[in-house]
Each structure stands twice: as C-alpha cells, then as structure tokens.
Amino acid sequence: MERIILRILLVCLLGGTYSCKSQVNCMNTRKTKLLKYPKYLDKDYVLGRFDYTKHSDFMLVPKDLSSKTIYLRKEVLEAFIKMSKQAKKEGVNLKIISGTRDFNHQKRIWNYKWTDKYKHIPEHKRAKKILEFSSMPSTSRHHWGTDMDINDLENSYFEKGRGKKEYQWLVKNAKNYGFYQVYTSKEYGRTGYNEEKWHWSYLPLSAIYLKYYNDKVNYKDIRDFIGSDYAKDLQMIKKYVNGVNKEILNYK
C-alpha cells in the first residue's frame, strides 16, 4: 500500500516538473506569477485619468524647487529634494519646471498643436511633427507622477555655460538618487521623441508603471482626442512609450 502511495506521489511530482517545457520556463512562469503591482495602480492611473491633486500619494513641490504649481508622487519628491540639496552644495541649482500632467492637461497641449500651431500640415505628418516633443494624451510619462522637466526646455541651454554644468552634474549623479534621462540621443537606435536633456524619471517607480502599461494598455485605450486614430499606425506604444533610454528598458 505504502509503495503504491509513493509511486502516485512520484508520478505527480514528475508530472508537475515536466508539465513545463523546460526548467527555465518553469522559473519564468513562477516569476511572472510572483510579480505584484501596487494596489493603487490601475489603467486609469497610467493613462492619466485621475485627479492627482486629490491623490493621497501626491505632494506639492516646494516653491523654491519649482517654477509654478507642480505635483509629484511623494517618493519622487523626497528623492528629488535629496538630490537637489547635494547639487546645491556643489554649485548646481535644479528647478522643476513641469511635473505631473493628467490626460486633460496633455490633451490641451496636443489640441493646441493640432488645431493651431501645426494646423497647416497634413494630418498624418502633423501627428508626427507634434510627436517630436509632445505626447498623445494617454501615452505621457508625465501622467505617472514620476517624471519631470528640469531647468529648461531647449537642448541648446544644456550645451553651454550654466546649463552644461547642470546637465553634466545630472548625468554623473542623478542615478544615485534613482533619476534617469528618458529621451537620450537617437544616435544608437532609440525610437520616438527627440532627445530631451531636461526630462528625468524616477525609475524605482516608473519602471513598474511602464511594465504595467505594457501588460494592460492597448490601442483601444488611446482615445477621446482629435488625431487619436493615428496612434496605432504610428506605433505609439512600441515606438514612443517604449522608445526610451535602454537603461530604462533594462532596469530591474
């Protein structure tokens, strides 16, 4: 009797092992199952469809560190404050000039460029023109509370004098605080938006949000604004949402 039970147990164990094609696949399956997203994270969050000013995880950036009323996630702000204190000691001033933007805010930026600034350009080309520097609503990392623009919105500012010193400081030190430049040079095959020396992201959180975005969001979710029909054709998710610095894609 005991032998029969043992034999049944053995068959079950072996069956369990070989139901996966290989040991590596088994481990991957387990890993995927173990990955848990934070409770507050849902599709509305990554699409910017929530009121961050009323979200308990968001905080107002102190006036001396920002150029206007700006909110960020509290963990991001804490890390930024630490970083800016050290920068200041080394003679570098860091000011946030844009932080969290929701769907409607991004829609205002998009609509202005679509219906006014670039209205003379045929639609398909117009979408691409806007996408040199601005996101479609629902696809902006600024929705997440982890991303910010620092000091200036022109690459040329960061290429000489004070701006160059600030940029060099960030390139050398920002990683120690969790911050990475998202839209680096396109020289080595990065797709999507043009280079932005001012846009930095707090990866300990934004890496999780990007993963969630890739898991849950599809082209049907990118809607409710003029020109949204071009999202799929222009491969917004593959080329733009994932058109980021390789260090970000590989971040663990």
Given the rule CB under 5 A, which residues bind Zn ion? 149, 199
Kindly state the smallest distance separating residue 141's Cβ from Zn ion, in Å: 7
Kindly state the smallest distance separating residue 40's Cβ from Zn ion, in Å: 23
Q: Which is nearer to Zn ion, 201 or 228 (CB)?
A: 201
Q: How far is CA 182 from CA 21, 146, 236, in A?
A: 37, 11, 16
Kindly state the smallest distance separating residue 199's Cβ from Zn ion, in Å: 4
Q: Which 3 state secondary structure label does DSSP give 126? A: helix
Kindly state the smallest distance separating residue 248's Cβ from Zn ion, in Å: 14
User: Parallel, antiparallel, or unpaired: how do β-strands 199-202 and 179-181 relate?
Assistant: antiparallel
Q: Which is nearer to Zn ion, 84 or 181 (CB)?
A: 181
Q: Which is nearer to Zn ion, 149 or 221 (CB)?
A: 149
What torsion, rounded to 10 degrees, do the Cα atoms 37, 38, 40, 44 define? -30
Q: Which residue is nearest to Zn ion (CB)?
A: 199
Q: Which is nearer to Zn ion, 26 or 109 (CB)?
A: 109
Asked if 202 and 146 count as a contact pair (C-beta separation under 8 A), the reply is yes
Q: Which is nearer to Zn ion, 143 or 199 (CB)?
A: 199
Task: Please list the residues that pair with 201 across neighbouring strands.
Answer: 147, 180
| Residue that the structure tokens 């409770």 belong to | 39
Q: Which is nearer to Zn ion, 73 or 199 (CB)?
A: 199
- 60's CB contacts (< 8 A; 6+ apart) are 69, 70, 71
Kindly state the smallest distance separating residue 152's Cβ from Zn ion, in Å: 12
DSSP H helices, 90-173, are 103-112, 123-130, 161-173
**Burial class, 72, CB count within 10 angstroms (exposed 0-12 / middle 13-18 / buried 19+):** buried
Kindly state the smallest distance separating residue 198's Cβ from Zn ion, in Å: 7
